[in-house]
Amino acid sequence: MQAFAALLDALSFQPARNAKLRLIETYLSEVPDPDRGWGLAALTGGLDFPAAKPALLRGFGEDRIGPELFHLSYDYVGDLAETLALIWETDATAGPPPTLGEVVDTLQRASRSETPGILKRWLDALDATGRWALLKLLTGALRVGVSARLAKQAAANIGNQPVEAVEEIWHGLSPPYRPLFDWLLHEAPRPSSNAGGAFLPPMLANPIEQSELETLDPAHFRAEWKWDGIRVQVAASGGVKRLYSRAGEDISGAFPDIVEAIDFDGAFDGELLVRREETVAPFNDLQQRLNRKSVTPRMLKDHPAHVRLYDVLWLDGEDLRSLPFDQRRARLEAWMAQKPRQRFDVSPLVTFRDWAHLAELRAGMTSDGIEGLMLKRADSAYLAGRPKGPWFKWKRDPMLVDCVLMYAQRGHGKRSSFYSDFTFGCWREVDGRRELAPVGKAYFGFTDEELRWLDKWVRDHTTNRFGPVREVSPELILEIAFDGVARSTRHKSGVAMRFPRINRIRTDKLAAEADTVDGLLRLAASIAPDPLG
């Protein structure tokens, strides 16, 4: 446990990606089995401890120093694991600290009633950093700036393998990944890929601006709409059916309607959407289905999932990734033409004469289901990663609106000392009176210097407090960039923004000049329907 704690501590203070890679590589190379495998599982989100949830840990803190003092401390620190680790004291008589493997094995066997006593003994035995790491492990919120792909990259590096090779076998492995490390470090045979619904590493596009298009020959490229959902891979073989996110996370459980509709063997690249009566719903509707372990019959009915297919990677036992895009596209269209397939369709190509014509089509497309265009070379193979040259994404320009800052809350991790999560609103008329209504939240889009300025402004202009939330005087204008807006009955203002972020701090404007909720609603009403409808 101490080695894993040292790793998390070092990662939390290291901002550089390559330096984080080296830290994880050292841990995976030097720490023996099974602890290194459990550490890799923690970094990739592969561990869960149902009997040790945040409510239990908050109870520990309340029992230790009293509810009021604990919640004041938690509010000030901004992180549950760090707060509890600091208020706990090491007991020299508690015995040796547990290993990471001991923690995992014990908690996987322990009952809900046994878990509190076990955790308290470990907290007594560990130092402050060890307690913090244990608590981070239990909550699953490591927040050390490491993605699952970065951790897999580190594992691949210790065996001098491409990360795509690790990703292709990943879903056939389980923690603590001994066959993986035997292959990477001890020249054992490569573990077989999970033939049943294997995940294939996706091909990603590079952003491009209109000025850059002039260097490319339009005859060499095909265009598609960039649909505003989440990129997924549908994979099925040997009776196993799965739906993966772009990062390779198995999200099948949240979308049983998609899984039940799979009646084929193959792997397809596409976009997960909510679609009603031939119209793509706003992204906010899809969000109601994301990150759920199960869904209710009502949610399945009200938010029907759909996959719009971009590409075919594997079909009827044949790997098609090395074929040119045009050939893969022809195979995809021919396959879809064989019979109607519920919950699947093919994303259409966009016909254009030249870049100027395509720019006109892009500017004219205001559907909330589309966020821009994809450009793909006709001769491009499907290559894992983000190769330069074959694929580009040309997103439409963001919408801008002036909002008034209303509330602020401290962030997490490195931002736990700063007010960095901001709620903003627009004006509306209620009973002849003008008032602000919250329309969104944002926690990025600003520089570190702007964050410090905003944090001070919040502290200097606080008018009320609601637990960890500060209400501020309605004076500061924030220019908010966002990718779409839709009507929403779940939000008091009646609107939901897509991907809001702070574009500029407008100290040159007065709060009275901010936009209105009616203006946002008119924008939502002006959005065109799905062009395929």
In terms of Cα–Cα distance, which of 356, 488, 510, 497 is closest to 440? 497
Residue found by looking up tokens 């001098």 in the block? 160
Q: Are 262 and 193 in contact (CB under 8 A)?
A: no
Spatial contact of 426 and 496, defined as CB atoms under 8 Å apart: no
Phi–psi pair at 434, nearest 5 degrees:
-90, 125
| H-run or E-run covering 307 | strand 305-315
In sequence order, the 6+-apart residues with CB closer than 8 A to the CB of 215 are: none
DSSP state of 125: H
Beta bridge partners of 141: none
d(CA 480, CA 178): 48
Extract the tokens encoding 41: 């599982």
Question: Do 440 and 503 touch, CB atoms closer than 8 A?
Answer: no
Tokens describing residue 174: 């389980």
Q: Which of 136, 152, 226, 376 is catalytic?
A: 226
Residue 300: Cβ within 10 Å count: 15
| Calpha distance 272→283 (Å, rounded) | 10
Rounded CA separation 324/342 (Å): 28
At 447 the three-state DSSP class reads: coil
Decide the pairing of beta strands 433-442 and 419-430.
Answer: antiparallel
Mapped onto helix, strand or coil, the DSSP state of residue 530 is: coil
Dihedral sign for Cα atoms in the order 52, 20, 391, 502? positive
Report the distance separating Cα 311 and Cα 349, nearest Å.
12
The answer to whether residue 53 is catalytic is no
Q: What distance in Å separates the CA atoms of residue 404 and residue 416, rounded to the nearest whole number?
A: 23
| CA separation for the pair 478, 98 (Å, rounded) | 49
CB 122 within 8 A of CB 98: yes
Q: List, in sequence order, every beta strand (DSSP E) within 368-442.
A: 370-377, 391-395, 399-410, 419-430, 433-442
Among candidate residues 34, 48, 35, 52, the one with its CA nearest the CA of residue 118: 52
CA proximity to 452, closest of 415, 501, 425: 415
Closest by alpha carbon to 493, among 408, 423, 410? 423
> Is the CB of residue 135 less than 8 Å from the CB of residue 7?
no
Measured CA to CA in angstroms, residue 408 lies from 444, 507, 517 at distances of 13, 17, 20
Whether the Cβ atoms of residue 426 and residue 404 lie closer than 8 Å to each other: yes
Catalytic residues: 226
